[in-house]
Structure 1
């Protein structure tokens, strides 16, 4: 098992990574503003179910495939980028009237879980992040590397549930205030939509940095 000092350093580093806004945070916050804290927390559970799959992939070595196979990386990269663009277009096309009344366009828990799950599952940079980030804290002299990576990955998920959960609750609190102001709500819709589209285009157009076979 990792030493206490290593765990403390890892928790600090992982928390700094998690609090930085990205696709997952953006998705969670948008759901909290539109549908309330409960919907946002459900989205958080979906997001980190996707993270769990990424952790399992890192432990099983599937992330290595993304690093070394141009085809595998490009497929996941473009599918993930397309999904972010889809979320952005959907946000731009959503009706302000429906957003003012959460019940008018309520999402089922299954849909929230599914969308959140795909946000992190279809993120190849998260897989490569785990591949590059987690091994920095692994000490082979303290046990099996796979077990240590599993521990670090589970800690990352738990921290993510906490940080994204905080974003979810905050968005749920300010959501009712925003829903009573249609002009602000329209602005939120355009900001969220264009940001998702921008993230998708950035992901698609950014040159790959993994090693080619």
Structure 2
């Protein structure tokens, strides 16, 4: 339960960090209305199912194949997370601005959000490095644990993105365009990424 609560806290904080997906959902909420924003958020969240399946299968193969491969995976994953931390801290003062987008129908936006998420290689790499932090290898059934963790992340993404896209106007002006809020979010992200990287290095199969 302690690991689960830690996972929930980390997942919520990372989902709240302003990024391309969140900006896209909020933009559609502002431009096309609340319903469109929710559909966009749903599409972005559903795209994570593909990354969850890929991460679960990939980690399972790595663990079963070779201890050396697992060690290399840990090192590569940790370096990726440290790089994310560096970028978050380096660009912590950059202000993101939400502009109006194109007028689109709800189903079109759902498909666009889905495809946008699936085709983003950074999301795939993130899932492969983030989810294993919270897998208990003593319990076995690694793919199932990954799928459950991925499902929780998908539900949280849909709920948080959906809520923020629904209240897009108020949210964007009070959060996304506030330099101090964004700087604090980026610093928090950097700290989380460093912690995850260190945890990954100490993970044993």
TM interval, shorter chain, is: 0.5 to 0.7
- What 5-or-longer segments of structure 1 have no aligned partner? 69-90, 100-104, 179-187, 189-213
| Structure whose CA Rg is larger | 1
Q: Cα offset for 1:143?
A: 3.2
Q: Any idea what SS the aligned residue of 1:61 has?
A: helix
- TM-score by length of structure 2 reads 0.61
Q: What residue number does 2:85 align with?
A: none
CA contact (8 A) 1:37 1:173 kept: no
Note if 1:29 corresponds to 2:37: no
RMSD of the alignment, in Å?
Answer: 3.0
Between Structure 1 and Structure 2, how many residues are aligned? 141
Structure 1 runs of 4+ off > 3 angstroms?
Answer: 62-65, 172-175
- For 1:155 and 1:8, the matched residues in 2 are separated by 12
Is 2:164 aligned against 1:167? Answer: yes
* Alpha-carbon distance between aligned partners in 1 of 2:43 and 2:112, rounded to the nearest angstrom: 7
* Aligned-partner Cα distance in 2 for 1:53–1:62: 14
Match of 1:118 among 115, 125, 131: 115
Q: How many angstroms apart in 1 are the aligned matches of 2:56 and 2:44? A: 19
Q: 1:40 to 1:64 in 2, by over 3 A?
A: farther
Structure 1 length as normaliser, TM-score? 0.58
1:21 is paired with a residue of what secondary structure? coil
Distance 1:56 1:37 in 2: 30
Please report how far the alpha carbon of residue 116 of structure 1 lies from its aligned counterpart in structure 2 after TM superposition: 0.6
